[in-house]
Structure formats: structure tokens, C-alpha cells
Amino acid sequence: QQPVQSPQAVILREGEDAVINCSSSKALYSVHWYRQKHGEAPVFLMILLKGGEQKGHEKISASFNEKKQQSSLYLTASQLSYSGTYFCGTGYVQAGNMLTFGGGTRLMVKP
């Protein structure tokens, strides 16, 4: 079952903050976050694992709430380069080596 992302779209001014949520109806084992710019392939941002281990890069952070089966991606002091569509991919113990991706959140950062 596909995870649900919210909001579907958000418009920011440079320097503003945003939060993107990813919710699952099943118990999560891992959550991946990717960003895709128009006409390009998705690019990895971060992975979060059950138990709290967090990996990632750039000035973007994320959290993983096991009880709520939810992950949130935090973009602070947004830059123009943050524009794109953000996808979460969820991994489940029963699902083996596959991720299920959400529908995406479109983020536009304006000057």
C-alpha cells in the first residue's frame, strides 16, 4: 500500500522553512527520501531506519516516528535549488528488498 505524502504542493520564498510528511498504514522498517527535478531522475537525500539511525547529507534533516508510522522531512532556510518534487519510499520487513513510493510533494522556492 502506497504511503501518503502531505502536502501535495507547497510554495516558499527563499529562506523560509517547510515540512513534508510521509505516513504509512503498515509498520515501517525504513524510509528513504528522494528529490526529483523536472525531466531528471530522482536523487537520494536521506535514509532513516527503525531504531533511530539516520543517514543523509546536505542541509536537510528528517525524523522517523515509529509509533505514528510516519516520517517528516525538514527543509530549513530554503534555497532556490530546493525546488523539485520530493518522494518518500517506504520499506517493510515483509516486503523484502523493495521500496513503495508515495505520490510526491511538489516544492517551489521563489526568490
Q: Which residues bind other proteins (CB under 8 A)?
A: 2, 29-30, 32, 34, 40-44, 47, 49, 87, 89, 91, 96-104
Least distance between other proteins and beta carbon 36 (Å) = 9
- Of 82 and 86, nearer to other proteins (C-beta) is 86
Rounded to whole angstroms, how far apart are CA atoms 21 and 80?
Answer: 21
> What is the C-alpha end-to-end distance of the chain, expressed in Å?
37
Least distance between other proteins and beta carbon 110 (Å) = 21
How many degrees, rounded to 5, is the angle at CA 83 between CA 78 and CA 46?
75
Least distance between other proteins and beta carbon 45 (Å) = 9
Cell numbers found for residue 75: 527543509
Cell numbers found for residue 85: 518534487
CB 58 within 8 A of CB 103: no
- Of 16 and 47, nearer to other proteins (C-beta) is 47
Least distance between other proteins and beta carbon 44 (Å) = 4
- Of 96 and 111, nearer to other proteins (C-beta) is 96
- Of 17 and 66, nearer to other proteins (C-beta) is 66
Rounded to whole angstroms, how far apart are CA atoms 66 and 77?
Answer: 27
